[in-house]
Amino acid sequence: MMVLVVGAGRVGSAVAKSALAAGHTVSVLDEDPLSHERLDAGQTTSWEDAGGRFTVGTAIEIDALLAAGIEEADVFICSTNGDNTNLTVAQIAQKQFGIPRVIVRVLDPARSEWYAEQGLNTICPTKIAIEMFKNAVLEPVER
């Protein structure tokens, strides 16, 4: 599979590395050239030597998406630090490029839910954190 990751932050870079380790073709797009360091961190070979692709560009620019190989992508992951960028770019990937699997990170639980109803595959870390906190808080305290 060809996996395109937009946004090489903590989440995006970790997902990119596991996808590459699992033997997939992986391309990463980020507007910050320095984000490349995250892809190399903790690895014995550089990202490119390990077979990864890295493109510097803004996700909402079609030229940047094309340079990162969106036309060949089977899986598209939107994990920039902006919900609105993620949701816009995810819909471009889905509607304009017809990518079969588009996964988008949305920090706002309300919109994560609504866009999921509209057919986007959303992941909401905030919601997961809230659940974990709730469980931890409500656990009986022994003293």
Q: Interface residues with another protein (CB under 8 A)?
A: 60-62, 82-85, 87-88, 91-92, 95-96, 108, 110-111, 114, 118
Smallest distance from another protein to CB 4, Å: 18
Instruction: Residue count of the chain, please give it.
Output: 143
Nearer Cβ to another protein (40/83) = 83
Smallest distance from another protein to CB 86, Å: 9
Task: Give the residue among 65, 68, 27 at the shortest CA–CA distance from 48.
Answer: 27
Q: What is the enclosing helix (H) or strand (E) of 125?
A: helix 125-138
Nearer Cβ to another protein (26/80) = 80
Beta bridge partners of 53: 27
Smallest distance from another protein to CB 94, Å: 10
CA separation for the pair 17, 77 (Å, rounded): 13
